[in-house]
Amino acid sequence: MIKNKQRELISLLVRSKNSFRSSIELATELSLSDRTVRTYLKDLKEVIENNGGVLVSKQGYGYQLQIKDRTAFDLFLIEHHFLDRNEDQSQYRGVSERKHYLLNLLLLESQAIDIEELSERLFISSSQLNKDINEIKNQLLPYELTLKRNKSLFWVEGEERAKRHFIMSYFFHEESINFLQRLTYFNKFCQAISFDTLTIIILDECREAHIKLSDVMIQNIVLHLSLSIKRLQSGLSVQNLDLPESAKMTLEYQVAKKIIDRVETVIGFHFPKEEQMYLTLHLMSKSNFNQYESDTELSLSLTNLLIKIQQETGYLFLKDEQLKNGLIQHLKPMLVRLEQNIKLENPLLDEIKSHYDELFALVKHYFKQLPQLNKFTINDGEWGYLVLHFLASMEKLKNEQKAKVLIICATGMGSAQLLKNRVEREFDERIKIVATRGYYETNPDMLNDIDFIISSVDLSSRVFKVPVFQVSVFLTENDVQKIRRYLSSHNLLISARKDPLSTLITSNPKDQSIHLDHIIDDLTADYFFICQQPQSKEQILNHLLDRLAINEAKDYKQQMIQQMENRMALGEIFFSSTIVVPHPAIPVGKLSKIGIAIIPKSLFWDEKYPQVHFIFMISPSIYQNPNLSMMTKAIVSLIDDFDTQAKILNSQTFAEFKQYFIKLIEKGA
């Protein structure tokens, strides 16, 4: 049994695996004596060496962990819970997600970032994180904010007013509260105070009191206060809620009072004391978000429930981390209400049931199964609040699915605004206007994420990699029909039930800075074979599953079969007429693997795909998949590379295949 301090010692060695650490340094970090650390190292030496690692000691230098068998060592880390499937590292591999996460730590949570520690936690190279930091530095400059550094630590310096200005413009811009504003207009319930004003009040008071709230947490409190105002205007308020005297002495209670006082000044009427107490509950649960052990259990239960929803409905709510965080933050005070038998009316309930009855039924059906909720009798008002979180998630998904458009006019000023307004009016549900630019303001970088251009000037003399529609600045009916035909023929809008394979390809490989030698480690002969003799589809798939089942749980194979069937029911798994990529709807294995079957004489899959030559069976890990997107990108590169296909089919050994596949990886990178 590994002791807690020994676990911490192993974690330190893993983070410092490329350098020597003296026993005195390790003892200082662990608050132990030098002698105790040396005793622990002696005890751990055999354990580490039996699990794919080597503990090297060098006089005058100290101790260093070297990993000889990465698969065995990863299994050791998983077995002893050094890797947690709920850790945040998987969310932050993409550049935009990482930068958002870093800015959240630096500004909303006022933390100093340790690049080396964060690099280990997110499985991202420190050089990539330094690159992100440099980009953030440039974002902060216009606000007269600077990034300071001391060794590997970074933090933001500048006036608090400037920090709040940046926070408002970055975290609470127009799009981030688009859904809330739509609810406002839909119900006309917050005319007395705007979302922007509420956000500024909450941000001001929480930062003055050094209460750390993420952007999602603040938006949830904004929504809560807005609905409270609606309830009060309708003659409804929280009843029979009283906090213990100890809670009334807390910082959160004082901050809630200041927020309520400022809101009352704006709206012109009084909040009952119960509303202040209820807001206190929100602040107490949110400001201590990471301090309760029950959070982990709630997070795990919620993850399992979202997985079940995805399996049974196909909706990928699981990939929306903002939804998951928002639900956790809502469920914590909700559990307090249920335990205290507090009845909370929902002013939006009739509208929700009327317009989103299917989603309401879905949320009610599944969340009744959540272990933390199934012992309570819950009214429809509470279910309605949970539905709001899913509506916000669907709104975001819907916005992501819109065609991204750049509008170009002669100057980018008045005429551009006129054209923009007309395009928005005609195509609000199908087009997202990314930017409006004057003719001389365009550059190639603007086109990276653009689906097409709408221009009021003639661009025929310039070459663009996306379609261009020249229209009148007044957007005539002919212009509208021309764009509508294009949208219909190209089917730019996709279903809310996205292809689950997209969850495997989460970011651009260039953003991951993964060393090629680590990727090569994932290409192993254990999961590879060349099928020279005629075999059925079932025989080959069974053979690959047997190989992938090495070092996995006893029911791994059966789970993989079930999840692959679930995935095939959702859509195609063929990359081309000769390349098939079977994979589970949700991850099953402990380790990230790819089983590979090469079939020179071809395999009859079905009537539609009678000549399959390549099977890449992807088995993502439930913990981490740092190399999977690069491997998948290499498979995509193989589709049109007929020369490499021919060479692979002529390969006689795994070594030959590996040589060609590595070139595909390098090509994709």
According to DSSP, the residues that pair with 498 across neighbouring strands are none
Least confident of 43-52, 91-100, 132-141, 252-261: 91-100
Tokens of 477: 């009916």
Between 10 and 536, the more confident residue is 536
Ranked by mean pLDDT, the top range of 197-201, 246-250, 540-544 is 540-544
Measure the CA–CA gap between 81 and 74, rounded to whole angstroms.
Answer: 10
Tokens of 599: 């079939």
Cα separation values, 519 from 511, 631, 658, Å: 15, 8, 11
- Count Cβ atoms below 10 Å from residue 654 Cβ, excluding itself: 19
Q: Which of 602, 603, 605, 596 is nearest to 631 (CA)?
A: 596
Q: What is the mean pLDDT of residues 73-77?
A: 76
* pLDDT value of residue 538: 92
In the chain, DSSP finds a helix count (H) and a strand count (E) of 26, 13
The string of DSSP codes covering 363-426 is HHHHHTTSTTTTTS---HHHHHHHHHHHHHHHHHHHHHHSEEEEEEESSSSHHHHHHHHHHHHH
- What is the distance in angstroms between the CA of the first residue and the CA of the last residue of the chain? 42
Q: Which residue matches tokens 């798939």?
A: 541
Between 75 and 144, the more confident residue is 144
Domains in the chain and their CATH numbers?
4-79 (1.10.10.10), 95-287 (no CATH), 293-314+343-397 (no CATH), 403-490 (3.40.50.2300), 500-668 (3.40.930.10)
* pLDDT value of residue 483: 87
| For residue 263, pLDDT beyond 80 | yes
Between 197 and 660, the more confident residue is 660
User: Residue 519: pLDDT band by 50, 70, 90 thresholds?
Assistant: low
Q: What is the mean pLDDT of residues 389-396?
A: 77
Between 7 and 161, the more confident residue is 7
- Please report which residue ranges of 172-272 form alpha helices under DSSP H: 178-187, 195-208, 215-233, 251-267
Q: What is the mean pLDDT of residues 355-384?
A: 88
- Count Cβ atoms below 10 Å from residue 12 Cβ, excluding itself: 18
Measure the CA–CA gap between 50 and 69, rounded to whole angstroms.
Answer: 10
* pLDDT value of residue 84: 45
| For residue 495, pLDDT beyond 90 | no
Q: What is the mean pLDDT of residues 634-641?
A: 82
Between 173 and 341, the more confident residue is 341
553: which DSSP letter? -
Please answer whether residues 110 and 212 qualify as being in contact, where contact means their C-beta atoms are separated by less than 8 angstroms. Answer: yes
Query: For 527-579, what is each residue's pLDDT tens digit?
Result: 899 998 888 999 999 999 999 998 888 889 999 998 888 767 655 677 788 99
Q: Which residue matches tokens 């006893």?
A: 554
Please answer whether residues 137 and 144 qualify as being in contact, where contact means their C-beta atoms are separated by less than 8 angstroms. Answer: no
Between 483 and 666, the more confident residue is 483
Least confident of 498-502, 608-612, 647-651: 498-502
| For residue 252, pLDDT beyond 80 | yes
Q: Which amino acid is at 84?
A: D
Least confident of 73-77, 235-239, 408-412, 617-621: 235-239
Q: What is the mean pLDDT of residues 607-629?
A: 82
Q: What is the dihedral of CA 281, 282, 283, 289, to 10 degrees?
A: 110
The string of DSSP codes covering 110-175 is -PPEEHHHHHHHHT--HHHHHHHHHHHHHHHGGGT-EEEEETTEEEEES-HHHHHHHHHHHHSSTG
* pLDDT value of residue 171: 67
Ranked by mean pLDDT, the top range of 83-92, 305-314, 598-607 is 598-607
How long is the chain? 669
HSE (side-chain half, CA atoms, 13 Å) at 30: 27
Taking the mean position of all CA atoms in its chain, how far away is CA 39? Answer: 41
* pLDDT value of residue 97: 67
Measure the CA–CA gap between 571 and 554, rounded to whole angstroms.
Answer: 28
According to DSSP, the residues that pair with 407 across neighbouring strands are 436, 454
Measure the CA–CA gap between 234 and 265, rounded to whole angstroms.
Answer: 19
* pLDDT value of residue 92: 41
* pLDDT value of residue 514: 39
Between 497 and 126, the more confident residue is 126
Please answer whether residues 427 and 483 qualify as being in contact, where contact means their C-beta atoms are separated by less than 8 angstroms. Answer: yes
Q: What is the mean pLDDT of residues 48-55?
A: 86
Measure the CA–CA gap between 599 and 135, rounded to whole angstroms.
Answer: 47
Query: For 425-463, what is each residue's pLDDT tens digit?
Result: 788 767 888 888 776 666 666 777 788 889 887 775 555
| For residue 508, pLDDT beyond 50 | no
Ranked by mean pLDDT, the top range of 60-64, 354-358, 526-530 is 526-530
Measure the CA–CA gap between 665 and 523, rounded to whole angstroms.
Answer: 11
Three-state SS at 104: helix
Q: What is the mean pLDDT of residues 52-78?
A: 81
Query: For 398-416, what is each residue's pLDDT tens digit?
Result: 656 678 888 887 654 555 6
> Kind and range of the H or E element at 435?
strand 431-438
Tokens of 47: 């354990």
Q: pTM for the full model?
A: 0.38
Measure the CA–CA gap between 363 and 365, rounded to whole angstroms.
Answer: 6
Measure the CA–CA gap between 108 and 128, rounded to whole angstroms.
Answer: 22
Between 95 and 251, the more confident residue is 251
Measure the CA–CA gap between 94 and 98, rounded to whole angstroms.
Answer: 6
Least confident of 9-23, 105-119, 131-145, 186-200: 186-200
Please answer whether residues 547 and 617 qualify as being in contact, where contact means their C-beta atoms are separated by less than 8 angstroms. Answer: no
Phi, psi of 613, deg, nearest 5: -110, -20
Q: Which of 64, 68, 38, 37 is nearest to 51 (CA)?
A: 68
The string of DSSP codes covering 37-100 is HHHHHHHHHHHHHTTTEEEEEETTTEEEEEES-HHHHHHHHHHTTSS-TT-GGGGG-SHHHHHH
Q: What is the mean pLDDT of residues 89-112?
A: 69
* pLDDT value of residue 557: 92
